[in-house]
Amino acid sequence: MIEDKNKPKTSLADLGEFGLIEHLTKNFKIKQESTLKGIGDDAAVLDFKDKKAIISTDLLIEGIHFDLSYMPLKHLGYKAVMVNLSDIYAMNATATQVTISIAVSNRFPLEAIEELYEGIYAAAKTYNVDVIGGDTTSSTKGLLISVTAIGQANEEDIVYRNGAKANDLLVVTGDIGAAYLGFQVLEREKQVFQADPNNQPDLDMYTYLIERQLKPEARRDVSGLLKELEVKPTSMIDISDGLSSEIIHLCKQSEVGCNLYEDKIPLDQQVISTCEEFNMDSTTIALSGGEDYELLFTVSQEDFPKIKANPNFTVIGHMTDASEGMNLITRSNEKIALKAQGWNSLESEE
């Protein structure tokens, strides 16, 4: 959309930094009771009363974390918020506020930044979080977004990574691997388009995969679902770097091992069919793909009856003594050591 020649283009320099911030944030309404002061002073002021404050932050950089040739700016804004809220939900907390900082090169007209903020606004509205501050500046190259998400929780409800015990069940929400395959589909279409710009792609077969890549939803619902079921996880983490890497984090911090069962990993039908088409192994994609923004948690065995019928949750393994290591039990009943093969975002070239 930033290439649409018919739209008016407004230079960011004409507005200036303060004008831009005012223009972009004038529609943000404060809804959270804990927000005493949002945008407009040196800092925001929040009141968590007897609750604890939960803080997480992430950077998204053009050319590293997203490609604007197939990522609409509105989706990018939405996703930047989701990535951060997911970390708050992974603490079993409620997300309440975000700060949004962006750096843009002068390649972007105001209308492009407005699209980005439409996505941010949509995410904030849907997930009921206040945008309470940020910074807006220019970059020498491309677009970058830095989000800090803030949440709150009662101390007794907070779930850390380090509480898993041997024999606890390992549970994942939703299904895994679709976001990475969505990325693969979009990358392929980009190559096709570059070779022949008149080629119109038919992406109907991949709608779920593409949606998971371009418009992920954070699992805001899980904390409430677990509360209703009267289950408190013993440990929890969000799946942003691939199932394998996140299981290893839980195991190391909890000082336990685990057995993950290949045949239990929840895969969407589009993941299975697209893996066949791309000649990829669906287990490898689930283990190492990343960006699913589902939650991974452990529960005591005695909670199994409470969660087993819930379609949001799949038991994919169990924790063991640390001495047994971290293993994948394959469909053919072989035991293979889990490896962290999440995307390593530090390997790109300048």
- Residue 2 makes contact with a copy of itself by CB under 8 A: no
Strand order in the sheet with 235-239: 235-239, 294-299, 169-173, 313-320, 257-261, 326-329, 335-337
DSSP letters spanning 208-243: HHHHHHHS----THHHHHHHHTT---SEEEEESS-H
For residue 321, the 8-state DSSP code is: -
- Residue 3 makes contact with a copy of itself by CB under 8 A: no
- Residue 103 makes contact with a copy of itself by CB under 8 A: yes
Q: Which of 9, 31, 107, 339 binds a copy of itself (CB under 8 A)?
A: 107
Interface with a copy of itself by CB under 8 A: which range of 83-91, 177-185, 208-216, 309-317? 83-91
- Residue 280 makes contact with a copy of itself by CB under 8 A: no
- Segment 238-267, which members bind a copy of itself (CB under 8 A)? 238, 253
**Local structure of 331: helix, strand or coil:** coil
Comparing CB distances to a copy of itself, the nearer of 69 and 106 is 106
Structure tokens at 50: 């007897």
Contact 10, 110 (CB under 8 A): yes
Shortest Å, Cβ 288 to a copy of itself? 14
Burial of 207 (0-12, 13-18, 19+ CB in 10 A): exposed
- Segment 308-337, which members bind a copy of itself (CB under 8 A)? none
Comparing CB distances to a copy of itself, the nearer of 14 and 276 is 14
Burial of 109 (0-12, 13-18, 19+ CB in 10 A): middle
Comparing CB distances to a copy of itself, the nearer of 105 and 273 is 105
Q: Which of 77, 119, 151, 242 binds a copy of itself (CB under 8 A)?
A: 151
- Segment 29-68, which members bind a copy of itself (CB under 8 A)? 36-37, 40-48, 52-59, 61-65
Shortest Å, Cβ 185 to a copy of itself? 23
- Residue 285 makes contact with a copy of itself by CB under 8 A: no
- Residue 23 makes contact with a copy of itself by CB under 8 A: no
Q: By rule CB under 8 A, what count of residues binds a copy of itself?
A: 79
Of 82, 98, 95, 80, give the one whose Cα is nearest residue 148. Answer: 98
- Residue 106 makes contact with a copy of itself by CB under 8 A: yes
Comparing CB distances to a copy of itself, the nearer of 63 and 201 is 63
Query: Which helix (H) or strand (E) is 120 found in, with range?
Result: helix 110-126
Comparing CB distances to a copy of itself, the nearer of 302 and 349 is 349
For a copy of itself, what does the binding mask look like between residues 167 and 206, x meaning CB under 8 A?
----------------------------------------
Contact 55, 18 (CB under 8 A): no
Angle 12-25/110-126 helices, nearest 10 degrees? 10
